[in-house]
Amino acid sequence: MSTRQVYHALGFLCLLFALFSGSRFLWLFGGFFFFMTLAHRWWRANLPRWVRLEWSADQSRVMPGTPVTVRFSLHNRSWLPLPGTVIRVSFPEHVTVEGADDVTASSQRCTVRFRFHLPLRTSAERTFTLTPHKRGLVWLTEAQADTLSVFGEEQDPIPLPLSFSLLVYPLPLTLPPLSAAAAEPDGGSVSRRRLEEDVTFLRGVRGYAPGDRLKHIHWKASAKTGALQTRLFEPTARPTWKVVGHILPSYEPLLQRQNDTVNERVISALAALSVLCRRQSLSCDLFLTVKQRGREQFHLPAGSGKAHHVHVMTQLARLYQYMPTSLAAVLRRLEHSGTRDAILIVTPRLDGPAEEAVKRLVRHGHSVTVLDVSEEQPVLRRHESGRTPARKVVLS
């Protein structure tokens, strides 16, 4: 029998004796037991208004294995103490936590507990360290708190809303030395489609036009001529890589094969390629064989620089619960491009239709490189057409 049931029984007995004896004290004393249960119900319903949890972390985007320091504060704004309060937070099983009072693992989750004894109108602060070991998004929307009830035996649950997210980037895979021909006209010469300005080589000045960047204004020439002058740079062109990532289904029932490990290797290889393009200032056009908002493949438009690299890494970190599509369908989309492209295919397995699509790409003049990640050590296979080889760009 719980404490609440004992209170109800005592209150019923007191009211029963008061009914026969007419004692006002027994009426008040029996009503007190029922009043306590009603007061506890009201107190339990209003606890989330008086208890607040604040959460903060020193980092929000990290690589696997990076420790993150998390600091949170529990505020008690009520006029009653909160003895024996326990806060429970659940993380994925690949996250290790240090600095908690109790850590248990069950059902592929890691449950962390913190114990508090909060007096009235006070706050308490705790700090712990969590270390994620896999890519993905670690997010929390609610923490569960249990405090000692006024009856002494039961615990009152308190839902505490919070907003916490930690984005874990994929760990780049170690790639072999990669060399590829810069396909014309994207990399070997200047074209109208890929015309850019190389800020390293200055070739003159011109009059200022609305929309010119302030950092390109030639102030000395402007002082001599009495009007604003804008620097002119030598035109150049940068090679654009079309990177195709082949994502397999998580489970293939006909082959009875789990592909989660292989897919993680593909994602890590794509992350390594993004790092190389960032270091070499190359433009990267990313395709993934997964559905995106009704489309048959995921496409991230070409770009370069830090902002594009962060966008690529963010999309790879958020890639989960996907619906894979055919690699051959993505390659067929690239066959009839107006330019001869440098295409890099990251795949753990090439089936018959995909191999035929690669041959057609080579016949159309594209430079195709296949990065096989089926084993622990990636292997490069190069497919070229019979044209005269262009200048090569080496990525290391």
Q: What is the pLDDT of residues 161-209, one digit of tens each?
A: 888 899 999 999 988 887 544 333 333 444 444 444 555 557 788 888 8
| pLDDT confidence of residue 348 | 93
| pLDDT confidence of residue 195 | 46
Higher local confidence (pLDDT), 181 or 138? 138
Rounded to two decimals, the pTM is 0.74
Rounded to an integer, the average pLDDT of 64-77 is 93
pLDDT at 97 over 50: yes
Least confident window among 146-155, 158-167, 321-330, 382-391: 382-391
103-121 pLDDT, tens digit per residue, is 998 888 999 999 988 888 9
Rounded to an integer, the average pLDDT of 271-282 is 88
Higher local confidence (pLDDT), 154 or 302? 302
| pLDDT confidence of residue 180 | 44
pLDDT at 83 over 80: yes
Split at pLDDT 50, 70, 90, the class of 151 is low
Average pLDDT, the chain: 83
pLDDT at 261 over 50: yes
pLDDT at 136 over 50: yes
| pLDDT confidence of residue 206 | 87
| pLDDT confidence of residue 42 | 85
| pLDDT confidence of residue 197 | 54
333-380 pLDDT, tens digit per residue, is 888 776 677 889 999 998 889 999 999 988 888 888 899 998 888 988
- Percent of the chain exceeding pLDDT 90 equals 35
pLDDT at 18 over 80: yes
Higher local confidence (pLDDT), 310 or 8? 310
- Cα–Cα separations (whole angstroms), residue 354 to 21, 324, 370: 93, 15, 11
- Percent of the chain exceeding pLDDT 70 equals 87
